[in-house]
Homo-oligomer: A and B are copies of this chain.
């Protein structure tokens, strides 16, 4: 049986409370008593029961992380950064995946709240209004990581994806591409929405009408990028530039292009999004918008931490800057950006 404070008390002759205070180094316990009790605890292999402590204190030092899909390398990195930051603040994370379903998200949030997490970091999907209401009435602090939800924009930590999507598209258009394909992300995700908006606005600014056939929705996975490009080639849809929702889609797409005999960047120029660690090591190192994933994760936890510490703190939308990294899948230079490094960019 596990040894508890009670047993330490019995064995030592002190009361449970004194034992508890001794182990916590309370200053109203005699030094000699402390060392005696600590030694006994050591000998008896005492392990504190944090569940009991949590119940008593009404605080669990645990946050819930509601992730869409933790195996996606983008989220995986963000989550790692969250966990790192949490650990350094003596917090733990309960990780739940929703598989991008509002239903899963609801369940995840509910069970995490039941488990008395002190806060929540959520990578949300657009869902029913009921979910929104539920969030608004949540009894613990929460932040939305890298995505937003209508009416809850203040809870978001975002990147400047609209701007960057527009910039990428504008660069393509400025460099003579009239048929820029956008392999967009799923419609129930805010980043998808923002990036499509950037794509559209770049066109209207350039005075070029958007060809709706050139906006194709994918599920954001590599296979889907591959599949869609195959289909588009079969349909003989012409395009000379590809702006992908993320690097995974870009990789799948580039593979399909290669299989069909197209050269990158000569026949098709490609830009991805997220800038995964491996993207710059690809055969054609991939031009991509670098989202500072670690920073995003760290700031997410740290902001949440502030809200947990001070529940009255007001929520305000935060934006982290990303940066377009131009590499071998594009031929042009970024106007106004001279930060080109040698070697592996």
Contacts and interface: CB of A to CB of B under 8 A. Distances in A.
Interface in A109-131: 111, 113-116
Interface in A86-130: 87, 92-97, 111, 113-116
Contacts of A70: 70, 76, 79-80, 83
Given A47-B114, A252-B281, A281-B226, A77 B83 contact: no
A2 interface: yes
A251 interface: yes
A218 to B, nearest CB: 14
B60 A51 contact: yes
Q: How many copies does the complex hold?
A: 2
A226 B224 CA distance: 29
Interface string A208-252: 000000000000001000100000000000000000000010011
Contacts of A80: 69-71, 97
A307 interface: no
A47 B283 contact: no
Name, among A71, A115, A251, A277, the residue most crowded by chain B CB atoms within 10 Å (CB to CB). Answer: A71
Contact of A92 (B115, B248, B254): B115
A258 interface: yes
Contact of A50 (B79, B114, B344): B114
A285 interface: yes
A314 interface: no
Instruction: Sort A-B residue pairs by CB-CB distance and give the 10 closest, nearest first.
Output: A283-B283, A71-B80, A76-B76, A255-B281, A50-B114, A71-B77, A50-B115, A71-B76, A51-B116, A95-B95
Interface string A42-74: 000001111110110000101000000111110
Interface residues of A, number: 51
A80 to B, nearest CB: 4
Nearest to A87: B96
Nearest to A76: B76
Contacts of A73: 71, 73, 76
Contacts of A116: 49-51
A57 to B, nearest CB: 10
A187 to B, nearest CB: 23
Contact of A285 (B77, B95, B248, B255): B255
Contacts of A96: 83, 87, 92
A56 B277 CA distance: 46
A176 to B, nearest CB: 25
A344 B79 CA distance: 31
Nearest to A52: B55
28 contacts: A50-B116, A51-B51, A51-B54, A51-B60, A55-B55, A70-B79, A70-B80, A71-B76, A71-B77, A71-B79, A71-B80, A72-B76, A79-B95, A83-B96, A83-B97, A84-B97, A93-B94, A222-B278, A222-B281, A226-B281, A226-B344, A248-B278, A252-B281, A254-B281, A254-B283, A255-B344, A258-B283, A278-B278
A175 interface: no
Interface string A257-282: 01000000000000000000110011
A139 interface: yes
